[in-house]
Amino acid sequence: MKVLSINAGSSSLKFRLFMMPEEFVLCSGVFERIGLDNSFLTIIIDNEKKCKDIAVKCHEDVVNILIQELINFRVINNINEIEAIGHRVVHGGDKYSNAVVIDDNVLNNVMEISYLAPLHNPVNIIGIRAFNKVLPNVKAVAVFDTAFHQTMEETAYIYPVPYEWYKEYGVRKYGFHGTSHKYIARQISEILNNQNLKIISCHLGNGGSLCAIKNGVSVDTTMGFTPLAGIAMGTRAGDIDPSIIPFIMSQTGMNIEQILDVLNKKSGLLGISGISSDMRDIEEGIEKQNKRCKLAYSIYIRKIVSFISSYNTLLGGADVICFTAGIGENSIGVRKDIIDMLQPLGIYLDEEKNNIRGEQTLISNNNSKIKCYIIPTNEELMIAKETYELMM
Protein backbone atom coordinates (compact mmCIF):
# COMPACT_ATOMS: atom_id res chain seq x y z
CA MET A 1 0.00 0.00 0.00
CA LYS A 2 1.30 3.45 -0.94
CA VAL A 3 0.68 5.90 1.91
CA LEU A 4 1.37 9.63 1.71
CA SER A 5 2.40 11.47 4.89
CA ILE A 6 1.58 15.18 4.87
CA ASN A 7 2.62 18.05 7.14
CA ALA A 8 0.93 21.22 5.91
CA GLY A 9 2.02 24.65 7.11
CA SER A 10 0.81 28.11 6.13
CA SER A 11 3.49 28.60 3.46
CA SER A 12 5.03 25.14 3.22
CA LEU A 13 3.99 21.53 2.79
CA LYS A 14 6.22 18.56 3.57
CA PHE A 15 5.45 15.16 2.09
CA ARG A 16 6.79 11.63 2.12
CA LEU A 17 5.42 8.68 0.14
CA PHE A 18 5.87 5.25 1.73
CA MET A 19 5.32 1.71 0.56
CA MET A 20 3.66 0.07 3.54
CA PRO A 21 4.03 -2.12 5.49
CA GLU A 22 7.58 -2.38 4.13
CA GLU A 23 8.20 1.21 5.31
CA PHE A 24 10.14 1.91 2.13
CA VAL A 25 10.43 5.61 1.20
CA LEU A 26 9.50 6.11 -2.45
CA CYS A 27 10.08 9.87 -2.36
CA SER A 28 10.01 12.87 -0.06
CA GLY A 29 10.15 16.62 -0.34
CA VAL A 30 8.76 20.01 0.50
CA PHE A 31 6.94 22.86 -1.20
CA GLU A 32 8.08 26.22 0.16
CA ARG A 33 6.79 29.79 -0.09
CA ILE A 34 3.24 28.73 -0.97
CA GLY A 35 1.26 31.79 -2.03
CA LEU A 36 4.42 33.93 -2.17
CA ASP A 37 6.87 34.94 -4.85
CA ASN A 38 9.71 32.56 -5.72
CA SER A 39 7.92 29.44 -4.51
CA PHE A 40 9.72 26.18 -5.18
CA LEU A 41 9.68 22.41 -4.77
CA THR A 42 12.44 20.20 -3.42
CA ILE A 43 11.91 16.50 -4.09
CA ILE A 44 14.16 13.55 -3.22
CA ILE A 45 13.93 10.32 -5.22
CA ASP A 46 16.47 7.49 -4.93
CA ASN A 47 18.60 9.76 -2.70
CA GLU A 48 18.82 12.31 -5.52
CA LYS A 49 17.64 15.84 -4.68
CA LYS A 50 15.93 17.91 -7.34
CA CYS A 51 14.86 21.56 -6.91
CA LYS A 52 12.31 23.26 -9.15
CA ASP A 53 10.90 26.78 -9.20
CA ILE A 54 7.14 26.30 -9.29
CA ALA A 55 4.43 28.94 -8.95
CA VAL A 56 1.92 27.82 -6.32
CA LYS A 57 -0.82 30.17 -5.18
CA CYS A 58 -2.54 27.84 -2.73
CA HIS A 59 -2.46 24.37 -1.21
CA GLU A 60 -4.75 22.99 -3.92
CA ASP A 61 -2.13 23.99 -6.50
CA VAL A 62 0.44 22.13 -4.42
CA VAL A 63 -1.60 18.91 -4.48
CA ASN A 64 -2.15 19.06 -8.24
CA ILE A 65 1.54 19.73 -8.90
CA LEU A 66 2.65 17.05 -6.44
CA ILE A 67 0.55 14.38 -8.13
CA GLN A 68 1.81 15.41 -11.56
CA GLU A 69 5.43 15.39 -10.39
CA LEU A 70 5.04 11.93 -8.87
CA ILE A 71 3.75 10.72 -12.24
CA ASN A 72 6.46 12.59 -14.18
CA PHE A 73 9.19 11.02 -12.05
CA ARG A 74 7.46 7.61 -12.40
CA VAL A 75 7.02 7.23 -8.67
CA ILE A 76 3.39 6.38 -9.45
CA ASN A 77 1.64 5.63 -12.71
CA ASN A 78 -1.65 7.25 -11.72
CA ILE A 79 -3.41 8.73 -8.71
CA ASN A 80 -5.17 5.44 -7.94
CA GLU A 81 -1.89 4.04 -6.62
CA ILE A 82 -2.09 6.35 -3.59
CA GLU A 83 -4.37 4.43 -1.26
CA ALA A 84 -4.23 6.52 1.91
CA ILE A 85 -3.06 9.92 3.16
CA GLY A 86 -1.96 10.64 6.72
CA HIS A 87 -2.16 14.27 7.81
CA ARG A 88 -0.32 15.74 10.77
CA VAL A 89 -2.76 17.74 12.89
CA VAL A 90 -1.22 19.66 15.77
CA HIS A 91 -4.06 19.74 18.28
CA GLY A 92 -6.75 17.19 19.01
CA GLY A 93 -7.65 18.59 22.42
CA ASP A 94 -8.97 15.88 24.71
CA LYS A 95 -11.25 14.55 21.96
CA TYR A 96 -8.71 12.31 20.25
CA SER A 97 -6.37 9.80 21.85
CA ASN A 98 -5.61 8.02 18.58
CA ALA A 99 -5.40 8.69 14.87
CA VAL A 100 -8.82 8.78 13.17
CA VAL A 101 -10.22 8.52 9.65
CA ILE A 102 -11.21 12.03 8.62
CA ASP A 103 -14.85 12.85 7.96
CA ASP A 104 -16.92 16.01 8.26
CA ASN A 105 -17.41 15.47 11.99
CA VAL A 106 -13.65 15.21 12.57
CA LEU A 107 -13.00 18.35 10.53
CA ASN A 108 -15.64 20.23 12.52
CA ASN A 109 -14.11 19.07 15.80
CA VAL A 110 -10.61 20.11 14.71
CA MET A 111 -11.94 23.52 13.73
CA GLU A 112 -13.84 23.89 17.01
CA ILE A 113 -10.65 23.42 19.03
CA SER A 114 -8.59 25.69 16.77
CA TYR A 115 -8.59 28.28 19.57
CA LEU A 116 -6.09 25.96 21.28
CA ALA A 117 -3.76 26.05 18.24
CA PRO A 118 -4.81 29.06 16.14
CA LEU A 119 -1.60 29.10 14.08
CA HIS A 120 -1.69 25.41 13.21
CA ASN A 121 -5.09 23.68 13.17
CA PRO A 122 -6.71 25.98 10.57
CA VAL A 123 -3.72 25.46 8.24
CA ASN A 124 -3.83 21.70 8.82
CA ILE A 125 -7.48 21.78 7.77
CA ILE A 126 -6.61 23.74 4.60
CA GLY A 127 -4.15 20.99 3.68
CA ILE A 128 -6.69 18.24 4.38
CA ARG A 129 -9.36 19.92 2.28
CA ALA A 130 -6.97 20.53 -0.61
CA PHE A 131 -6.11 16.82 -0.80
CA ASN A 132 -9.77 15.83 -0.36
CA LYS A 133 -10.71 18.01 -3.32
CA VAL A 134 -8.04 16.65 -5.66
CA LEU A 135 -8.13 13.05 -4.34
CA PRO A 136 -11.73 12.64 -3.11
CA ASN A 137 -11.67 8.83 -3.20
CA VAL A 138 -8.52 8.42 -1.10
CA LYS A 139 -8.98 7.70 2.60
CA ALA A 140 -7.51 10.45 4.79
CA VAL A 141 -6.36 10.05 8.38
CA ALA A 142 -5.63 12.68 11.04
CA VAL A 143 -2.63 11.97 13.28
CA PHE A 144 -2.59 14.35 16.25
CA ASP A 145 0.54 15.67 18.01
CA THR A 146 -1.42 15.68 21.27
CA ALA A 147 -3.01 12.22 21.00
CA PHE A 148 -0.21 10.17 22.58
CA HIS A 149 -0.41 12.20 25.79
CA GLN A 150 -4.12 11.61 26.39
CA THR A 151 -3.17 8.63 28.56
CA MET A 152 -1.87 10.99 31.26
CA GLU A 153 -3.76 10.86 34.55
CA GLU A 154 -5.49 13.91 35.99
CA THR A 155 -2.66 14.44 38.46
CA ALA A 156 -0.37 15.01 35.47
CA TYR A 157 -2.56 17.16 33.25
CA ILE A 158 -4.63 19.27 35.68
CA TYR A 159 -2.97 22.56 36.65
CA PRO A 160 -3.25 23.82 40.26
CA VAL A 161 -5.53 26.70 39.23
CA PRO A 162 -9.30 27.04 39.74
CA TYR A 163 -10.82 23.79 38.48
CA GLU A 164 -13.42 25.79 36.56
CA TRP A 165 -10.67 26.93 34.18
CA TYR A 166 -10.34 23.34 33.06
CA LYS A 167 -14.06 22.58 32.90
CA GLU A 168 -15.10 25.84 31.21
CA TYR A 169 -12.09 26.77 29.08
CA GLY A 170 -10.13 23.56 28.58
CA VAL A 171 -7.08 24.79 30.51
CA ARG A 172 -4.94 21.67 31.07
CA LYS A 173 -1.67 20.11 29.97
CA TYR A 174 -2.03 18.65 26.47
CA GLY A 175 1.58 18.00 25.53
CA PHE A 176 3.07 17.95 22.04
CA HIS A 177 5.64 16.03 19.96
CA GLY A 178 3.42 13.02 20.67
CA THR A 179 4.01 11.43 17.26
CA SER A 180 7.77 11.55 17.83
CA HIS A 181 7.59 10.23 21.40
CA LYS A 182 5.30 7.40 20.30
CA TYR A 183 7.72 6.46 17.53
CA ILE A 184 10.65 6.44 19.97
CA ALA A 185 8.71 4.24 22.41
CA ARG A 186 7.95 1.72 19.68
CA GLN A 187 11.51 1.70 18.36
CA ILE A 188 13.26 1.17 21.68
CA SER A 189 10.71 -1.48 22.68
CA GLU A 190 11.56 -3.39 19.50
CA ILE A 191 15.30 -2.96 20.05
CA LEU A 192 15.14 -4.27 23.61
CA ASN A 193 12.35 -6.76 22.83
CA ASN A 194 10.32 -5.47 25.74
CA GLN A 195 6.91 -3.82 25.52
CA ASN A 196 6.83 -2.93 29.23
CA LEU A 197 9.72 -0.51 29.42
CA LYS A 198 9.94 2.64 31.52
CA ILE A 199 11.29 5.20 29.05
CA ILE A 200 12.38 8.83 29.22
CA SER A 201 12.17 10.18 25.67
CA CYS A 202 14.14 13.39 25.07
CA HIS A 203 13.02 15.12 21.87
CA LEU A 204 15.64 17.86 21.64
CA GLY A 205 15.39 20.10 18.60
CA ASN A 206 14.77 23.81 18.14
CA GLY A 207 11.61 22.98 20.01
CA GLY A 208 12.02 20.37 22.70
CA SER A 209 10.11 18.19 25.10
CA LEU A 210 10.66 15.20 27.35
CA CYS A 211 8.15 12.43 27.92
CA ALA A 212 7.88 9.81 30.64
CA ILE A 213 6.54 6.60 29.08
CA LYS A 214 5.48 3.43 30.90
CA ASN A 215 4.34 0.26 29.15
CA GLY A 216 4.07 2.14 25.87
CA VAL A 217 1.87 5.02 27.06
CA SER A 218 2.61 8.61 28.05
CA VAL A 219 2.66 9.24 31.80
CA ASP A 220 3.84 12.86 31.74
CA THR A 221 5.45 15.34 29.37
CA THR A 222 7.13 18.73 29.69
CA MET A 223 5.12 20.79 27.21
CA GLY A 224 1.78 21.90 28.56
CA PHE A 225 -1.28 23.89 27.52
CA THR A 226 0.93 25.17 24.71
CA PRO A 227 4.38 24.21 23.37
CA LEU A 228 5.83 27.15 25.32
CA ALA A 229 6.11 25.16 28.57
CA GLY A 230 8.87 22.86 29.79
CA ILE A 231 12.59 23.01 29.03
CA ALA A 232 14.39 26.01 27.56
CA MET A 233 14.37 25.68 23.77
CA GLY A 234 15.85 27.40 20.73
CA THR A 235 13.61 30.46 20.97
CA ARG A 236 11.05 29.45 23.62
CA ALA A 237 11.50 30.26 27.29
CA GLY A 238 10.04 27.09 28.75
CA ASP A 239 8.79 27.24 32.35
CA ILE A 240 9.07 30.66 34.00
CA ASP A 241 7.38 32.47 36.91
CA PRO A 242 4.13 33.81 35.34
CA SER A 243 4.42 36.97 37.44
CA ILE A 244 7.26 38.03 35.15
CA ILE A 245 4.69 38.74 32.43
CA PRO A 246 2.70 41.55 34.10
CA PHE A 247 5.93 42.92 35.59
CA ILE A 248 7.59 43.31 32.16
CA MET A 249 4.35 44.73 30.75
CA SER A 250 4.36 47.42 33.43
CA GLN A 251 8.06 48.18 32.91
CA THR A 252 8.08 48.28 29.11
CA GLY A 253 4.54 49.10 28.02
CA MET A 254 4.43 45.91 25.96
CA ASN A 255 1.03 44.23 25.55
CA ILE A 256 0.32 40.54 26.11
CA GLU A 257 0.70 39.64 22.43
CA GLN A 258 4.14 41.26 22.33
CA ILE A 259 5.22 39.49 25.51
CA LEU A 260 4.09 36.11 24.18
CA ASP A 261 5.93 36.80 20.94
CA VAL A 262 9.12 37.38 22.93
CA LEU A 263 8.61 34.26 25.03
CA ASN A 264 7.98 32.14 21.94
CA LYS A 265 10.38 33.62 19.40
CA LYS A 266 13.09 35.60 21.19
CA SER A 267 13.84 33.65 24.37
CA GLY A 268 15.56 30.35 25.13
CA LEU A 269 19.03 29.86 23.64
CA LEU A 270 18.55 32.92 21.42
CA GLY A 271 17.39 35.18 24.22
CA ILE A 272 20.18 34.26 26.61
CA SER A 273 23.06 34.06 24.13
CA GLY A 274 21.98 37.03 22.02
CA ILE A 275 23.56 35.20 19.08
CA SER A 276 21.48 32.27 17.83
CA SER A 277 18.81 29.68 18.54
CA ASP A 278 20.92 27.01 16.83
CA MET A 279 22.86 24.75 19.19
CA ARG A 280 25.70 24.52 16.67
CA ASP A 281 26.20 28.27 16.90
CA ILE A 282 26.01 28.13 20.70
CA GLU A 283 28.69 25.42 20.83
CA GLU A 284 30.87 27.45 18.47
CA GLY A 285 30.40 30.48 20.72
CA ILE A 286 31.51 28.43 23.72
CA GLU A 287 34.71 27.48 21.88
CA LYS A 288 35.33 31.21 21.44
CA GLN A 289 34.82 31.77 25.19
CA ASN A 290 31.52 33.63 24.76
CA LYS A 291 30.12 33.87 28.31
CA ARG A 292 26.48 34.24 27.28
CA CYS A 293 26.72 31.19 25.03
CA LYS A 294 28.16 29.27 28.00
CA LEU A 295 25.30 30.50 30.18
CA ALA A 296 22.63 29.60 27.61
CA TYR A 297 24.12 26.13 27.20
CA SER A 298 24.38 25.51 30.94
CA ILE A 299 20.78 26.55 31.56
CA TYR A 300 19.62 24.31 28.70
CA ILE A 301 21.47 21.28 30.10
CA ARG A 302 20.35 21.93 33.66
CA LYS A 303 16.67 22.14 32.72
CA ILE A 304 16.84 18.84 30.83
CA VAL A 305 18.69 17.06 33.66
CA SER A 306 16.13 18.33 36.15
CA PHE A 307 13.23 16.84 34.19
CA ILE A 308 15.05 13.55 33.56
CA SER A 309 15.69 13.21 37.29
CA SER A 310 12.07 13.99 38.07
CA TYR A 311 10.74 11.53 35.51
CA ASN A 312 13.10 8.84 36.74
CA THR A 313 11.48 9.15 40.17
CA LEU A 314 7.98 9.32 38.66
CA LEU A 315 8.58 6.08 36.76
CA GLY A 316 10.04 4.34 39.80
CA GLY A 317 13.36 4.04 38.02
CA ALA A 318 13.65 4.33 34.23
CA ASP A 319 14.94 1.47 32.11
CA VAL A 320 16.15 3.62 29.24
CA ILE A 321 16.74 7.23 28.21
CA CYS A 322 16.43 8.04 24.51
CA PHE A 323 17.85 11.10 22.75
CA THR A 324 16.23 12.18 19.51
CA ALA A 325 15.56 15.12 17.11
CA GLY A 326 18.14 17.57 15.76
CA ILE A 327 20.12 18.25 18.93
CA GLY A 328 19.48 14.92 20.61
CA GLU A 329 20.64 12.96 17.58
CA ASN A 330 23.58 15.14 16.55
CA SER A 331 25.11 17.00 19.50
CA ILE A 332 27.80 14.82 21.03
CA GLY A 333 28.50 17.46 23.67
CA VAL A 334 24.90 17.94 24.78
CA ARG A 335 24.40 14.22 25.33
CA LYS A 336 27.72 13.93 27.18
CA ASP A 337 27.02 16.85 29.51
CA ILE A 338 23.49 15.63 30.29
CA ILE A 339 24.62 12.11 31.09
CA ASP A 340 27.63 13.29 33.09
CA MET A 341 25.30 15.33 35.32
CA LEU A 342 23.17 12.20 35.82
CA GLN A 343 26.00 10.17 37.35
CA PRO A 344 24.44 10.41 40.85
CA LEU A 345 21.63 8.24 39.41
CA GLY A 346 24.17 5.64 38.33
CA ILE A 347 24.05 6.65 34.67
CA TYR A 348 27.38 6.53 32.83
CA LEU A 349 28.39 7.43 29.30
CA ASP A 350 30.56 5.44 26.91
CA GLU A 351 32.36 8.36 25.26
CA GLU A 352 33.55 6.31 22.31
CA LYS A 353 30.03 5.09 21.50
CA ASN A 354 28.69 8.62 21.98
CA ASN A 355 31.09 9.99 19.36
CA ILE A 356 28.50 9.63 16.60
CA ARG A 357 25.74 11.65 14.95
CA GLY A 358 22.34 10.69 13.64
CA GLU A 359 22.63 6.93 14.09
CA GLN A 360 20.69 4.54 16.28
CA THR A 361 23.07 3.28 18.95
CA LEU A 362 23.61 2.54 22.64
CA ILE A 363 25.79 5.25 24.22
CA SER A 364 25.85 4.29 27.91
CA ASN A 365 28.54 1.99 29.27
CA ASN A 366 28.14 -1.45 30.80
CA ASN A 367 28.07 -0.07 34.37
CA SER A 368 25.16 2.29 33.73
CA LYS A 369 22.00 1.46 35.69
CA ILE A 370 19.91 3.05 32.94
CA LYS A 371 20.63 2.39 29.27
CA CYS A 372 21.01 5.48 27.08
CA TYR A 373 20.33 5.40 23.35
CA ILE A 374 20.32 7.67 20.34
CA ILE A 375 17.13 6.91 18.40
CA PRO A 376 16.61 9.04 15.26
CA THR A 377 12.97 10.05 15.14
CA ASN A 378 10.74 9.62 12.10
CA GLU A 379 7.43 11.38 12.55
CA GLU A 380 6.52 10.95 8.88
CA LEU A 381 6.92 7.18 9.19
CA MET A 382 4.85 7.18 12.39
CA ILE A 383 2.09 9.02 10.53
CA ALA A 384 2.27 6.42 7.75
CA LYS A 385 2.24 3.56 10.29
CA GLU A 386 -0.85 4.88 12.07
CA THR A 387 -2.57 5.54 8.76
CA TYR A 388 -1.79 2.06 7.46
CA GLU A 389 -2.97 0.44 10.70
CA LEU A 390 -6.33 2.21 10.42
CA MET A 391 -6.71 1.08 6.81
CA MET A 392 -6.18 -2.60 7.63
pLDDT digits 0-9 by tens, 33-88: 898 888 899 999 988 998 888 888 889 899 999 999 999 899 998 888 999 999 99
Residue 270 makes CB contacts below 8 A (sequence gap 6+) with: 234, 235, 276, 277
Classify 120 as helix, strand or coil.
Answer: coil
Mean predicted confidence (pLDDT) in 315-332 = 97
For residue 116, the model assigns a pLDDT of 83
Cα–Cα dist 323/169, whole Å: 34
Q: Which amino acid is at 159?
A: Y
For residue 173, the model assigns a pLDDT of 97
Confidence of residue 391 (pLDDT cuts 50, 70, 90): confident
Cα–Cα dist 369/229, whole Å: 29
Cα–Cα dist 112/308, whole Å: 35
Fold of the domain spanning 193-379: Nucleotidyltransferase; domain 5 (3.30.420)
| Superfamily name with CATH number, domain 2-144 | ATPase, nucleotide binding domain (3.30.420.40)
For residue 162, the model assigns a pLDDT of 98
For residue 10, the model assigns a pLDDT of 81
Q: Which one is catalytic: 46, 61, 145, 239? A: 145
Mean predicted confidence (pLDDT) in 264-283 = 95
Q: Do 9 and 123 meet the contact criterion of CB atoms below 8 Å apart?
A: yes
**What does the pLDDT look like over 212-245, one tens digit per residue?**
999 999 999 999 999 999 999 999 999 999 999 9
Are 2-144 and 193-379 in the same CATH fold?
yes
Mean predicted confidence (pLDDT) in 94-100 = 92
Active site residue 145: yes
- The sign of the torsion formed by the CA atoms of 21, 93, 101, 121 equals negative
Cα–Cα dist 345/343, whole Å: 5
The residue among 238, 257, 256 whose CA lies nearest residue 247 is: 256
**What does the pLDDT look like over 101-148, one tens digit per residue?**
999 999 999 998 888 888 788 889 999 999 999 999 999 999 999 999
- pTM, rounded to two decimals: 0.93
Cα–Cα dist 126/108, whole Å: 13
| Biggest alpha carbon–alpha carbon distance for the chain | 63
- The sign of the torsion formed by the CA atoms of 188, 192, 193, 198 equals negative
Cα–Cα dist 101/79, whole Å: 20
> Could you give the dihedral angle defined by the CA atoms of residues 24, 200, 92 and 186, in that order, rounded to the nearest 10 degrees?
30
Alpha carbon of 12 to those of 54, 162, 359: distances in Å? 13, 39, 28
Confidence of residue 6 (pLDDT cuts 50, 70, 90): very high
Please report, for the chain, the start and end positions of each structural domain, with discontinuous segments joined by +. 2-144, 193-379
For residue 385, the model assigns a pLDDT of 95
Q: Do 198 and 317 meet the contact criterion of CB atoms below 8 Å apart?
A: yes
Share of the chain above pLDDT 90, in %: 86
